[in-house]
Amino acid sequence: MSLDFKKRKINLLEDKLEESSSYQLPRSYHFLKQKPSGKNPAKPTGLSRRKKFSCFFILLIVILSIVGSIVSANNENFLAGVKNSYLIRQITHIVSSSEKYLKGEKEDRINFVLLGMGGPGHNGPYLTDTIIIVSFKPSTKEAGLISLPRDMIVPLHNNDYRKINSIYTIGQQSPDTTGGELLKEVVSKTLNMPIHYFAAVDFNGFVEIIDAIGGVEVTVDRSFTDNLFPTADYKYQEVSFQAGEQEMDGLTALRFARSRHGNNGEGSDFARIKRQQKIILAAKDKITSFNTLINPRKIISLFSLINKYTATDLEPWEAVKLIHLAKSLDTQNIAAYSIDDRPGGYLKAGIALDGAYILQPVTGNFEQIQLLTHNILDFNEVESENAKIVMQNGTDIPGLALQAVNHLTQMNYNVLRYGNAPSQEKLTTVIYNYNDDKPRTKESLEGIFQVKAEKNIPWEYSNTTITQNWNITDENGQLEQLDFLIILGADQKIDEGIEIVTTIDPELLNTTTPSSTDEIIEE
C-alpha cells in the first residue's frame, strides 16, 4: 500500500476548520448472538453510560470476555464444574481434542473490536464510547492495541458517514443485522482488514472484579495530584497518590489508571499509559496467582462477575483455545496506540452542519490509519531495532518527504534527516538497505512503500556520501552509520484533503462533546 492520498468529495460532513498544508508529528456477547426484537429489546444489564475505557483494561476485557462466553454458554453447569474442581479438566480436554482453527489463526493474526457502552437504563444505551482494536499474532505471542475515538466518522453505506460510536445503535435498530455485526463490518471496511470477533464489557465490573480478588499491589513511581478528576455528577474532585508500594482497591485502581491531569509529570498520555500497564500486570498477576486459583470462593465470585459484566461472540471452544494460545502473552510484547487529533496526528476536528463535533482523517481518507493498523505489531520491534533512516523526496511534489516522515515517526521509526534528493525525476520509490541487522524494520518499510529494499547501492547514495553531504554525525562528531535510505518516487502521492458535508441523526449525537464527559464510578 502506497501513501496515495487522492482528492475526493464526500457529500456528508462540512469541515469548518482550516485545512493544514502539512503536519508535524511528535517523536518518539455473548451480547447479540440472537437478533433482538422490538424497539426496546432486552439486553444484558450492567453497562453504565459514558464510561471511557483505558488501555489498561484491554487485557482484562479479553480475559474476562472469553471466559464469560463459556459461562454464558451454560452458566449453571459451568459454575457447578468450578465448584467440583472439574474446570481444569474441562478446559484441558477441549484444548487438546479440538483441531479447529480460530478465525484469523491460519493467517497468524486474530483481530477483535472491543466495546464499552452505557447499556439499558441510560440515555444512548448502545452508543459505544470506547472502541479498541486488538490484534493478536499467535506465532510470536505479540499483540497490538489501537484506540479509535468515539467522534471519528466512518463510512456506513452509500457514502453515508456516521460517528463510529453510533454504529452499534444503528445495528440494534435495524431488522437485518445486529449492533455487533454491523460494527465489525464497518470497522473492517474502514481499516481494510478483517475483524473476526467483538467483545463488550461494563466498566462498573472492573471495580467489583478488583475488589473480588482482594485488590492489587502497584508501585507508584512518583507522587502526584489531579485536581480535575471527573465525578459522577459532572463536577471535579481531587485525587492524590503517594510514591511507593500501594495496595489499591477497585475504585482506587480505576482512579490511578484514568487520571489525565496530574502534576509532577503525570498529566501526559505517556504517563497515563505507563500507569495503565502497571494495573494490567498487577491485575493479571493477582487473578492468576496461586492464592486466587485455590480459593473456591474467589473463583466462584469472579465467574459470577464475569457472567454479569462481560460479553463476546466467541464460541466456548474458541474462547478456550484463545486462552491456550495467549496464555504466555507478555505485556512487553503489547504495542499500544491511540488515534486522535493531537498535533501531527491522523485526525482533525470539525463541526458538522448540525453543530455536531466530529473527528475526520487529516489526509481525506483512511489509508494512513490503515497502514498504522496493519503495522501495529511491528511497533515494539521497530523501536527496539532503532534503525537510522534518511528520507529524500525524489519528486517535485512539495511536502512529500515531510508527510512520509510524519507517518513513519508515528510508528516509532527513527528518521534522522529528510529533504530533497539531488534529482526530482524519480518515478518509483527506492529503499537502500545498508546492512542486514534490522530485519523487522526492513520488512515493515517494504510493506509500507510496496517496494523491495535493495542492497546494490550506487556510489552517489553510499553511506559516506549521504552522511558527508548532509553532515549527519553521531554524538561524538563521527559520521553516522545509516541503516536505510528511502528516496520517494512519483508512486507516492501527497494528500490533498477532503471536503465533507452532512447531517447526523441528533438522537445519536447528544451524548458526546469535544470535551471529556467521563463519569467516575463512586461507591
Residue 278 CA: distances (Å) to CA of 237, 325, 364, 506: 23, 23, 37, 39
Is residue 33, in this structure, part of any structural domain at all? Answer: no
Whichever domain contains 385, its CATH number is: 3.30.70.2390
pLDDT digits (tens, 9 = 90+) for 404-422: 888 888 788 999 999 999 9
Of 286, 309, 339, which one is at a domain's C-terminal end? 286
Last residue of some domain: 286, 303, 334?
A: 286
Question: How high is the pLDDT of residue 454?
Answer: 94
Is 304 domain-assigned?
A: no
Q: Which residues of the chain have pLDDT under 70?
A: 1-99, 118-123, 203, 232, 234, 268-271, 273, 277, 280, 288, 290, 292-294, 327, 331, 343, 494-523
Residue 430 lies in a domain: yes
Residue 398 lies in a domain: yes
User: To the nearest 10°, the Cα dihedral for 377, 381, 387, 393?
Assistant: 10
DSSP 121-190: TSSSTT-EEEEEEEEEETTTTEEEEEEE-TTBEEE-STT-EEEGGGHHHHHHH-SS--HHHHHHHHHHHH
List beta partners, residue 116.
130, 201
Would you say residue 274 lies in a domain?
yes
Residues constituting the chain: 523
Confidence at residue 66, expressed as pLDDT on a 0 to 100 scale: 45
Residue 470 lies in a domain: yes
Residue 80 lies in a domain: no
Domains: count for the chain? 2
Q: What is the pLDDT of residue 230?
A: 77
Strand 142-148 and strand 334-338: the pairing is parallel
Within a domain: 178: no
Residue 277's domain is classified under what CATH number? 3.40.630.190
Predicted pLDDT at 137:
92
**Which of 261, 286, 311 marks a domain boundary?**
286
Q: What is the pLDDT of residue 107?
A: 95
Kind plus residue range of the DSSP H or E element containing 418: strand 414-420
Do 328 and 478 form a contact (C-beta atoms < 8 A)? no
Q: Which domain holds residue 424?
A: 381-488
Give pLDDT, residue 503. 39
Three-state secondary structure string covering 357-411: EEEEECCCCCHHHHHHHHCHHHHHHHHHHCCEEEEEECCCCCCHHHHHHHHHHHC
Report helix, strand or coil for 75.
helix
pLDDT of residue 45: 35
Backbone dihedral region of 416: left (phi > 0), alpha (psi from -120 to 50 degrees) or beta? alpha
pTM exceeds 0.85, yes or no: no
